[in-house]
Structure 1
Amino acid sequence: MNREQVAAMIQAGLPDARVDVQSEDDVHFSALVVSGEFEGLRLLQRHQLVYRTLGDKMGGEIHALAIRALTPGELAAGG
């Protein structure tokens, strides 16, 4: 998988999200995901939402994913 494919999968699962995915080797990824759906959720719950969008690709084609999951307000505040 490449970063565009990972970003598209996250975007499909969280349609209101702003998604930016980076990768240097197409196996290890980092993602900034900004979504109103994260309002009121703990960090673990936010990460679980993102992981669900990727399904069985996690642990397979996606070996590792570092996630920054922010609400729009957190991003605006410098999150």
Structure 2
Amino acid sequence: MLDTSGRWSGHFWIEGVVDCGASVIVDLTADQFGYDPVILADRDDDRYRCNILSSYEPLNGTERKWGYGLFMRAIDTTEDFKFAAAA
């Protein structure tokens, strides 16, 4: 994610498609990059880049493990929610 000072950092967010068909990003921890705590943004928001750019700082093992654990906890709670699959 591109923070408010212009630096790219490793980050995790949720992507999906809402009922109207718009592709969106939901970021629940954007405040660590100088933004509001929760962001609902268009999928094309320039602050978010999937995968690695040449100036990107790769995730370390701790960040990767944390992100995977967060993902697995989210998957365990999805039976209570209705999700639209991203195309």
Normalising by the residue count of structure 2, what TM-score does the alignment of the two structures yield?
A: 0.22
CA radius of gyration, larger in: 2
